[in-house]
């Protein structure tokens, strides 16, 4: 600021000289002249003294009080910046302050991480460093406050780009899975937790053919479900490719995987010869080579067909051959009967009508599994059982 002594006068009209005390030390040795410039290093109330002297050496003095207001810091938060998601934002800034103050500073990076203290250097500069894990535009706000309560703030805009492509998860069947049912659907999740998945970019290819899966969910997590029009073949290796891009323009590498369909189910035939109550077996297969019953007993045959794949049920029927006078099943049977199978969950059973009453002698029975059309479609083929012998005595 400038101060002037133009209000001073000398009654005789003599010329005056002007001496100034600008530091309030009662010495008029700081400046000369009717008008002088003075700079105050801090806010406060200051006293300025003026001494005027005429040509005869006569002097007069006067003082004035100057109130200097505090000036808030002026902050430069640095340039705006653009970074990739997950990368560190690094920048620097500075501030100015006309006063000889002390200062503290804070920074809020604008992403919800909160206000943090910021270190200031003696040269009135500061460094900014922060990692942004979300995409978008964020205001990094820096505020500097002096010891008189004056504060100045500035903002740098940090734009965080989405550079992470979509990814797949929740595969059903899993990549590399084996023994997958022939009737399986194919389910895949495509996710992008930043900008989201571009719905129009989704593409699924199964066995070299682009298919049209049902798509549900949202841009953050789309679910693709493909229901084939026909079952896969037993032992087939199914190749799947999923392609997608993000709304931010990021394209994931095609995700290619495969799984293997269960081999054709194998039917195992179990044959059990049981005595019709009240007759009882004198010896059974657990401790004898053949089952033994008393003369006059009647027996029946229980056939159990068990699938190697519990999800495939061996439906159809069984033929039961009855042999008399032999423990071998390699001769012409005395009679044949066909019985329908019933059951589920990979196991079916059938029971013959009764044989007897039986005279003393040797008998044998043999069961043959006959799959129906539904079982044949699942891959079942006919299967024979063991020859079951019976001794009546």
Residue range 373-386, pLDDT digits in tens: 999 988 899 999 99
Q: Report the domain count for the chain.
A: 4
**What sections of the chain are H helices per DSSP?**
373-377
Of 274, 220, 257, 267, which Cα lies nearest the Cα of 390? 274
Q: How many CB atoms lie within 10 A of CB 354?
A: 12
Same domain, 278 and 388: yes
- Rounded to whole angstroms, the Cα distance separating 319 from 151 reads 99
pLDDT score recorded for residue 41: 75
**Per-residue b/e over 191-224, b at no fewer than 16 CB within 10 Å?**
bbebbbbbeeebbbebeeeebebeeeeebebbbb
Task: Give the residue-averaged pLDDT of 206-224.
Answer: 98
What is the rounded distance in angstroms from the CA atom of residue 72 to the CA atom of residue 60? 38
- Residue 11 and residue 126 share a domain: no
Note whether 131 and 175 are same-domain residues: no
Instruction: Compute the distance between CA of residue 393 and CA of residue 388 in angstroms, rounded to an integer.
Output: 17
Q: Which two tokens stand for residue 144?
A: 């500097």
53 and 101 both lie in a single domain: no
pTM over 0.85: no
Point out the domain boundary residue: 260, 288, 312: 260
What was the pLDDT predicted at 288? 63
Domain boundary among 161, 176, 201: 161
Contact assessment for residue 308 and residue 358, using Cβ atoms and an 8 Å cutoff:
no
How many whole angstroms separate alpha carbon 159 and alpha carbon 165? 18
Do both 275 and 231 map to the same domain? Answer: no
Residues 123 and 192 in one domain: no
275-299 core/surface letters (b: 16 or more CB in 10 A; e: else):
beeebebeebeeeeebbbbeeebbb
Q: Which of 34-48, 62-76, 276-290 has the highest mean pLDDT?
A: 62-76
Count of alpha carbons within 13 Å of 230, Cβ hemisphere only?
5
The CATH code of the domain that includes 57 is 2.60.40.10
Minimal CA–CA distance to 183: which of 243, 229, 240, 115? 229
Question: 142-154, pLDDT tens digit by residue?
Answer: 999 999 999 999 9
Q: Do residues 370 and 276 share a domain?
A: yes
| Amino acid 385: pLDDT | 93
On the question of pLDDT at 24 being above 70, the answer is: yes
Q: What is the CATH number of the domain that holds 318?
A: 2.60.40
Confidence band (pLDDT; 50, 70, 90) for 97?
very high
Pair 273, 314 in one domain: yes
- Reading the block at residue 319, the tokens are 């033929």
End-to-end C-alpha distance for the chain, whole angstroms: 137
Which of 260, 281, 300 represents a domain boundary (last residue)?
Answer: 260
Same domain membership, residue 255 and residue 143: no
Indicate whether 273 and 381 sit together in one domain: yes
Domain that holds residue 278: 267-392
Q: Name residues whose C-beta falls within 8 Å of residue 152's C-beta, 6 or more positions apart in sequence.
A: 72, 73, 74, 75, 95, 143, 144
């Amino acid at each position: 600021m400038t101060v002037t002594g133009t209000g001073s006068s000398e009654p005789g009209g003599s010329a005056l000289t002007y001496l100034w005390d600008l530091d309030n030390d009662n010495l008029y040795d700081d400046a000369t002249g009717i008008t002088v410039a003075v700079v105050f290093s801090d806010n406060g109330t200051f006293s300025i003294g003026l001494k005027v002297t005429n040509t005869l050496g006569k002097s007069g003095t006067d003082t004035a009080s100057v109130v200097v207001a505090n000036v808030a810091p002026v902050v430069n938060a640095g340039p705006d910046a653009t970074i990739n998601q997950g990368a560190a934002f690094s920048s620097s800034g500075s501030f100015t302050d006309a006063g000889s103050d002390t200062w503290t500073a804070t920074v809020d990076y604008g992403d919800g991480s909160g206000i943090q203290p910021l270190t200031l250097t003696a040269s009135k500069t500061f460094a900014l460093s922060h990692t942004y894990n979300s995409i978008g535009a964020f205001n990094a706000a820096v505020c500097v406050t002096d010891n008189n309560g004056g504060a100045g703030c500035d903002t740098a805009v940090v734009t965080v780009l989405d550079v992470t492509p979509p990814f797949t998860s929740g595969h059903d069947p899993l990549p590399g899975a084996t023994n997958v049912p022939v009737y399986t659907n194919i389910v895949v999740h495509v996710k992008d937790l930043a900008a989201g998945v571009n719905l129009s970019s989704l593409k699924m290819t199964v066995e070299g053919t682009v298919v049209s899966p049902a798509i549900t969910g949202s841009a953050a997590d789309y679910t693709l479900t493909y229901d084939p029009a026909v079952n896969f073949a037993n032992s087939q290796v199914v190749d799947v490719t999923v392609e997608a891009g993000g709304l931010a323009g990021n394209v994931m590498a095609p995700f290619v995987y495969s799984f293997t369909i269960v081999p054709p189910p194998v039917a195992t035939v179990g044959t059990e010869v049981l005595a019709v109550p009240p007759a009882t077996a004198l010896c059974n297969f657990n401790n004898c080579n053949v089952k033994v019953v008393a003369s006059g007993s009647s027996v029946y045959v229980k056939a159990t067909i068990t699938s190697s794949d519990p999800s495939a049920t061996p439906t159809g029927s069984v033929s039961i051959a009855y042999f008399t006078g032999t423990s071998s099943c390699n001769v012409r049977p005395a009679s044949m009967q066909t019985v329908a199978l019933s059951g589920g969950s990979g196991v079916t059973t059938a029971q013959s009508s009764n044989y007897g009453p039986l005279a003393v002698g040797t008998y044998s029975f043999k069961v043959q599994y006959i799959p129906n059309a539904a079982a044949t479609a699942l891959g079942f083929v006919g299967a024979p059982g063991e020859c079951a012998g019976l001794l009546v005595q």
